[in-house]
Protein backbone atom coordinates (compact mmCIF):
# COMPACT_ATOMS: atom_id res chain seq x y z
CA UNK A 1 0.00 0.00 0.00
CA UNK A 2 1.46 3.31 -1.07
CA UNK A 3 1.26 6.24 1.33
CA UNK A 4 -0.46 9.14 -0.45
CA UNK A 5 1.73 12.22 -0.57
CA UNK A 6 0.62 15.08 1.72
CA UNK A 7 -1.98 12.88 3.43
CA UNK A 8 -0.14 12.20 6.68
CA UNK A 9 0.35 14.44 9.68
CA UNK A 10 4.00 14.07 10.71
CA UNK A 11 4.84 14.70 14.36
CA UNK A 12 8.51 15.40 15.10
CA UNK A 13 9.47 15.35 18.77
CA UNK A 14 12.72 17.13 19.53
CA UNK A 15 13.97 19.96 17.33
CA UNK A 16 17.68 20.01 17.98
CA UNK A 17 20.11 19.45 15.13
CA UNK A 18 18.56 16.21 13.83
CA UNK A 19 14.95 17.20 14.45
CA UNK A 20 15.33 20.56 12.73
CA UNK A 21 16.88 18.85 9.71
CA UNK A 22 13.98 16.40 9.54
CA UNK A 23 11.40 19.17 9.86
CA UNK A 24 12.98 20.72 6.78
CA UNK A 25 13.06 17.38 4.90
CA UNK A 26 9.38 16.64 5.49
CA UNK A 27 8.19 20.20 4.91
CA UNK A 28 10.10 20.40 1.62
CA UNK A 29 8.49 17.10 0.59
CA UNK A 30 5.04 18.67 1.04
CA UNK A 31 4.04 17.33 4.45
CA UNK A 32 2.41 19.19 7.31
CA UNK A 33 4.78 18.86 10.27
CA UNK A 34 3.73 19.20 13.89
CA UNK A 35 6.87 19.99 15.89
CA UNK A 36 7.33 19.67 19.66
CA UNK A 37 10.22 20.14 22.06
CA UNK A 38 10.42 20.30 25.84
CA UNK A 39 12.46 23.50 25.42
CA UNK A 40 10.17 26.45 24.49
CA UNK A 41 13.14 28.44 23.18
CA UNK A 42 13.95 25.80 20.58
CA UNK A 43 10.33 25.82 19.46
CA UNK A 44 10.21 29.61 19.24
CA UNK A 45 13.23 29.70 16.93
CA UNK A 46 12.34 26.64 14.84
CA UNK A 47 10.73 28.37 11.86
CA UNK A 48 13.60 30.85 11.61
CA UNK A 49 16.16 28.05 11.70
CA UNK A 50 14.28 25.96 9.13
CA UNK A 51 13.88 29.00 6.87
CA UNK A 52 17.62 29.63 7.02
CA UNK A 53 18.31 25.98 6.22
CA UNK A 54 15.82 26.00 3.34
CA UNK A 55 17.50 29.07 1.85
CA UNK A 56 20.87 27.30 2.02
CA UNK A 57 19.41 24.20 0.36
CA UNK A 58 17.74 26.27 -2.37
CA UNK A 59 21.07 27.91 -3.10
CA UNK A 60 23.27 24.80 -2.98
CA UNK A 61 21.00 21.90 -3.96
CA UNK A 62 18.41 23.56 -6.17
CA UNK A 63 15.65 20.97 -5.75
CA UNK A 64 12.45 22.98 -5.15
CA UNK A 65 10.12 22.42 -2.23
CA UNK A 66 6.79 20.74 -3.00
CA UNK A 67 3.54 22.60 -2.53
CA UNK A 68 1.66 22.11 0.72
CA UNK A 69 4.50 21.76 3.19
CA UNK A 70 3.96 23.55 6.50
CA UNK A 71 5.28 23.67 10.06
CA UNK A 72 3.21 24.07 13.21
CA UNK A 73 5.12 24.43 16.47
CA UNK A 74 3.15 22.84 19.32
CA UNK A 75 3.94 23.21 23.02
CA UNK A 76 1.36 20.66 24.23
CA UNK A 77 2.29 17.08 23.38
CA UNK A 78 -1.36 16.02 23.64
CA UNK A 79 -2.08 17.93 20.40
CA UNK A 80 0.39 15.69 18.59
CA UNK A 81 -1.18 12.64 20.23
CA UNK A 82 -4.58 13.68 18.88
CA UNK A 83 -3.49 14.47 15.32
CA UNK A 84 -0.30 12.60 14.41
CA UNK A 85 -0.35 9.65 12.02
CA UNK A 86 3.44 9.30 12.09
CA UNK A 87 5.41 10.06 15.26
CA UNK A 88 9.16 10.58 14.90
CA UNK A 89 11.31 11.04 17.98
CA UNK A 90 14.60 12.95 17.76
CA UNK A 91 15.25 13.41 21.46
CA UNK A 92 18.29 12.63 23.61
CA UNK A 93 20.00 9.26 22.97
CA UNK A 94 18.66 7.63 26.11
CA UNK A 95 16.47 4.53 26.01
CA UNK A 96 14.38 5.44 29.06
CA UNK A 97 13.67 8.94 27.70
CA UNK A 98 12.55 7.53 24.35
CA UNK A 99 10.34 4.93 26.02
CA UNK A 100 8.72 7.55 28.27
CA UNK A 101 8.04 9.84 25.30
CA UNK A 102 6.28 7.16 23.25
CA UNK A 103 4.21 6.10 26.28
CA UNK A 104 2.59 9.55 26.17
CA UNK A 105 1.03 8.81 22.77
CA UNK A 106 -1.89 6.65 23.91
CA UNK A 107 -4.40 7.91 21.30
CA UNK A 108 -1.88 7.59 18.48
CA UNK A 109 -1.15 4.00 19.50
CA UNK A 110 -4.87 3.19 19.58
CA UNK A 111 -5.27 4.77 16.15
CA UNK A 112 -2.47 2.70 14.61
CA UNK A 113 0.01 5.50 14.00
CA UNK A 114 3.52 4.58 12.91
CA UNK A 115 6.21 5.29 15.51
CA UNK A 116 9.76 5.96 14.34
CA UNK A 117 12.87 6.37 16.46
CA UNK A 118 15.98 8.04 15.07
CA UNK A 119 18.30 6.35 17.54
CA UNK A 120 21.74 5.67 16.10
CA UNK A 121 22.19 2.38 17.90
CA UNK A 122 19.80 1.65 20.78
CA UNK A 123 17.61 -1.44 20.68
CA UNK A 124 14.43 -0.93 18.65
CA UNK A 125 13.00 -4.03 20.32
CA UNK A 126 13.53 -2.68 23.85
CA UNK A 127 12.09 0.73 22.97
CA UNK A 128 9.02 -0.96 21.50
CA UNK A 129 8.49 -3.36 24.38
CA UNK A 130 8.93 -0.66 27.02
CA UNK A 131 6.61 1.83 25.35
CA UNK A 132 3.85 -0.49 24.17
CA UNK A 133 4.56 0.46 20.54
CA UNK A 134 6.34 -2.71 19.46
CA UNK A 135 3.74 -3.58 16.78
CA UNK A 136 3.89 -0.03 15.41
CA UNK A 137 7.58 0.87 15.79
CA UNK A 138 10.51 0.88 13.41
CA UNK A 139 13.95 2.43 13.61
CA UNK A 140 14.89 5.12 11.10
CA UNK A 141 18.56 5.96 11.39
CA UNK A 142 18.98 9.19 9.43
CA UNK A 143 22.59 10.20 8.91
CA UNK A 144 23.74 13.66 9.93
CA UNK A 145 23.16 16.09 8.27
CA UNK A 146 19.77 14.54 7.37
CA UNK A 147 18.90 17.24 4.85
CA UNK A 148 21.88 16.13 2.69
CA UNK A 149 22.61 12.47 3.42
CA UNK A 150 20.61 10.37 0.94
CA UNK A 151 20.31 7.10 2.88
CA UNK A 152 18.21 6.00 5.85
CA UNK A 153 18.60 2.69 7.67
CA UNK A 154 15.14 1.24 8.43
CA UNK A 155 15.46 -1.21 11.31
CA UNK A 156 13.07 -4.01 12.15
CA UNK A 157 12.52 -4.65 15.85
CA UNK A 158 11.92 -8.20 17.02
CA UNK A 159 8.14 -7.71 16.77
CA UNK A 160 7.90 -5.12 13.99
CA UNK A 161 5.38 -6.32 11.37
CA UNK A 162 6.47 -6.34 7.73
CA UNK A 163 3.68 -3.88 6.89
CA UNK A 164 5.19 -1.27 9.21
CA UNK A 165 8.61 -1.73 7.59
CA UNK A 166 7.06 -1.44 4.12
CA UNK A 167 5.16 1.73 5.00
CA UNK A 168 8.23 3.23 6.64
CA UNK A 169 10.32 2.57 3.53
CA UNK A 170 7.61 4.24 1.43
CA UNK A 171 7.62 7.24 3.73
CA UNK A 172 11.42 7.50 3.53
CA UNK A 173 11.26 7.29 -0.28
CA UNK A 174 8.60 10.01 -0.38
CA UNK A 175 11.07 12.56 1.03
CA UNK A 176 13.69 11.60 -1.54
CA UNK A 177 15.75 9.24 0.61
CA UNK A 178 16.98 5.71 -0.07
CA UNK A 179 15.74 3.15 2.45
CA UNK A 180 18.06 0.28 3.39
CA UNK A 181 16.45 -2.48 5.42
CA UNK A 182 18.20 -3.79 8.54
CA UNK A 183 16.58 -7.16 9.17
CA UNK A 184 18.02 -7.84 12.63
CA UNK A 185 17.96 -5.41 15.55
CA UNK A 186 21.66 -5.35 16.50
CA UNK A 187 23.47 -2.51 18.35
CA UNK A 188 24.65 0.15 15.91
CA UNK A 189 22.71 -1.35 12.96
CA UNK A 190 24.89 -1.26 9.80
CA UNK A 191 26.55 2.13 9.56
CA UNK A 192 27.54 2.71 13.16
CA UNK A 193 28.98 -0.79 13.47
CA UNK A 194 31.24 0.08 10.55
CA UNK A 195 32.14 3.57 11.71
CA UNK A 196 32.83 2.66 15.35
CA UNK A 197 35.10 -0.19 14.27
CA UNK A 198 37.04 2.42 12.28
CA UNK A 199 37.01 4.88 15.20
CA UNK A 200 38.25 2.21 17.62
CA UNK A 201 41.28 1.52 15.43
CA UNK A 202 41.92 5.24 14.81
CA UNK A 203 41.92 5.92 18.57
CA UNK A 204 44.15 2.89 19.14
CA UNK A 205 46.77 4.16 16.67
CA UNK A 206 46.90 7.62 18.25
CA UNK A 207 46.89 6.13 21.74
CA UNK A 208 49.88 3.92 20.88
CA UNK A 209 51.92 6.61 19.13
CA UNK A 210 51.63 5.00 15.69
CA UNK A 211 50.56 8.32 14.13
CA UNK A 212 49.14 11.69 15.10
CA UNK A 213 45.41 12.42 15.01
CA UNK A 214 46.02 14.74 12.07
CA UNK A 215 47.80 12.07 10.03
CA UNK A 216 45.26 9.35 10.85
CA UNK A 217 42.48 11.68 9.66
CA UNK A 218 44.42 12.57 6.51
CA UNK A 219 44.84 8.91 5.58
CA UNK A 220 41.10 8.31 6.13
CA UNK A 221 40.02 11.36 4.13
CA UNK A 222 42.48 11.05 1.25
CA UNK A 223 42.29 7.28 0.72
CA UNK A 224 39.25 5.54 2.20
CA UNK A 225 37.08 8.62 1.95
CA UNK A 226 37.78 9.14 -1.73
CA UNK A 227 37.03 5.53 -2.62
CA UNK A 228 34.16 4.52 -0.36
CA UNK A 229 31.46 6.47 -2.19
CA UNK A 230 32.28 4.46 -5.32
CA UNK A 231 33.36 1.07 -3.94
CA UNK A 232 31.88 -0.49 -0.80
CA UNK A 233 33.99 -2.68 1.49
CA UNK A 234 32.57 -5.97 0.23
CA UNK A 235 32.84 -4.87 -3.40
CA UNK A 236 36.47 -4.01 -2.66
CA UNK A 237 37.10 -7.53 -1.31
CA UNK A 238 35.84 -8.93 -4.61
CA UNK A 239 38.09 -6.57 -6.52
CA UNK A 240 41.29 -7.49 -4.66
CA UNK A 241 40.36 -11.16 -4.19
CA UNK A 242 39.29 -13.17 -1.16
CA UNK A 243 42.57 -15.10 -1.30
CA UNK A 244 44.59 -11.93 -0.73
CA UNK A 245 42.19 -10.80 2.02
CA UNK A 246 42.62 -14.17 3.73
CA UNK A 247 46.40 -13.78 3.73
CA UNK A 248 46.26 -10.23 5.13
CA UNK A 249 43.76 -11.24 7.82
CA UNK A 250 46.01 -14.11 8.91
CA UNK A 251 48.55 -11.63 10.32
CA UNK A 252 46.75 -8.26 10.60
CA UNK A 253 43.56 -8.94 12.54
CA UNK A 254 45.41 -10.16 15.63
CA UNK A 255 47.21 -6.80 15.82
CA UNK A 256 44.10 -4.60 15.57
CA UNK A 257 42.39 -3.01 18.55
CA UNK A 258 40.01 -5.47 20.21
CA UNK A 259 38.85 -3.59 23.32
CA UNK A 260 35.21 -4.35 24.14
CA UNK A 261 34.58 -1.03 25.88
CA UNK A 262 35.67 2.61 25.65
CA UNK A 263 39.42 3.06 25.27
CA UNK A 264 41.42 4.46 28.17
CA UNK A 265 42.21 7.62 26.21
CA UNK A 266 38.51 8.29 25.57
CA UNK A 267 37.67 7.73 29.25
CA UNK A 268 40.52 10.04 30.23
CA UNK A 269 39.31 12.78 27.86
CA UNK A 270 35.78 12.55 29.21
CA UNK A 271 37.04 12.71 32.81
CA UNK A 272 39.14 15.79 31.99
CA UNK A 273 36.31 17.48 30.07
CA UNK A 274 38.04 17.26 26.69
CA UNK A 275 34.81 16.47 24.84
CA UNK A 276 35.60 18.01 21.46
CA UNK A 277 33.79 20.96 19.90
CA UNK A 278 31.34 21.33 22.79
CA UNK A 279 34.19 21.95 25.27
CA UNK A 280 36.72 23.52 22.90
CA UNK A 281 39.27 20.75 23.24
CA UNK A 282 39.36 17.15 22.00
CA UNK A 283 41.78 15.42 19.67
CA UNK A 284 42.02 18.93 18.17
CA UNK A 285 42.09 22.36 19.79
CA UNK A 286 38.74 23.80 18.69
CA UNK A 287 39.51 27.11 20.35
CA UNK A 288 41.74 27.82 17.36
CA UNK A 289 39.50 26.14 14.79
CA UNK A 290 36.11 27.54 13.73
CA UNK A 291 33.64 24.67 14.11
CA UNK A 292 30.89 26.50 12.18
CA UNK A 293 33.22 27.00 9.21
CA UNK A 294 34.30 23.37 9.45
CA UNK A 295 30.68 22.14 9.36
CA UNK A 296 29.87 24.51 6.48
CA UNK A 297 32.77 23.09 4.46
CA UNK A 298 31.66 19.55 5.37
CA UNK A 299 28.17 20.23 4.02
CA UNK A 300 29.50 21.79 0.83
CA UNK A 301 31.80 18.80 0.34
CA UNK A 302 28.80 16.47 0.66
CA UNK A 303 26.93 18.56 -1.92
CA UNK A 304 29.87 18.18 -4.32
CA UNK A 305 29.67 14.40 -3.97
CA UNK A 306 25.90 14.13 -4.41
CA UNK A 307 25.98 14.42 -8.21
CA UNK A 308 28.10 11.29 -8.35
CA UNK A 309 26.03 9.50 -5.71
CA UNK A 310 22.85 10.18 -7.70
CA UNK A 311 24.28 8.00 -10.48
CA UNK A 312 24.52 5.12 -8.01
CA UNK A 313 20.90 5.61 -6.98
CA UNK A 314 19.78 5.28 -10.61
CA UNK A 315 20.50 1.54 -10.50
CA UNK A 316 17.52 -0.78 -10.75
CA UNK A 317 15.22 -0.91 -7.69
CA UNK A 318 16.40 -3.27 -4.99
CA UNK A 319 20.13 -2.84 -5.65
CA UNK A 320 20.69 -1.10 -2.32
CA UNK A 321 17.77 -2.64 -0.47
CA UNK A 322 15.23 0.09 -1.15
CA UNK A 323 11.53 -0.67 -1.48
CA UNK A 324 10.57 -1.53 -5.02
CA UNK A 325 7.65 0.36 -6.46
Q: What is the 3-state secondary structure (H, E, C) of 185-216?
A: CCCCCCHHHHHHHHHHHHHHHHHCCCCCHHHH
The per-residue DSSP string of 71-104 comes to EEE-S-HHHHHHH-SEEEE---S-HHHHHHHHHT
Pairing type for strands 114-117 and 86-89 reads parallel
User: Helices H, strands E: what count in the chain?
Assistant: 15, 8
CA separation for the pair 139, 63 (Å, rounded): 27
CA-based torsion, 128, 131, 137, 143: positive or negative = negative
CA angle 271, 272, 277 (to 5 degrees): 105
Examine the pLDDT at 82 and tell me if it is beyond 70. Answer: yes
Of 103-107, 145-149, 261-265, 301-305, the poorest mean pLDDT is in: 301-305
Put residue 3 in one of left, alpha, beta given phi > 0 → left and psi -120 to 50 → alpha: beta
134-163 residue pLDDT tens: 999 999 999 999 999 999 999 999 999 999
Decide if 139 contacts 153 (C-beta within 8 A).
yes
Split at pLDDT 50, 70, 90, the class of 4 is very low
pTM of the model as a whole: 0.89
173-187 residue pLDDT tens: 999 999 999 999 999
What does the pLDDT average to over 286-315? 85
CA separation for the pair 241, 164 (Å, rounded): 39
What is the per-residue pLDDT for 32? 94
CA separation for the pair 278, 259 (Å, rounded): 26
Amino acid sequence: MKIPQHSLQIAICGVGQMGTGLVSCFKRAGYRVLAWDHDPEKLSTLERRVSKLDSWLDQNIGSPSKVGGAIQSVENLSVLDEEAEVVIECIVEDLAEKVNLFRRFARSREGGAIFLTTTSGLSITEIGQGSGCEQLLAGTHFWNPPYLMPLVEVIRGQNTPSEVIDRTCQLVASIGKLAVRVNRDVPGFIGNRLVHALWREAIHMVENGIATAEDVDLVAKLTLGLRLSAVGPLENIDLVGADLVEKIHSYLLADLACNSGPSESIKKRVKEGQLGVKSGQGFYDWRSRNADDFIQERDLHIVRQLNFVEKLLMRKPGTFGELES
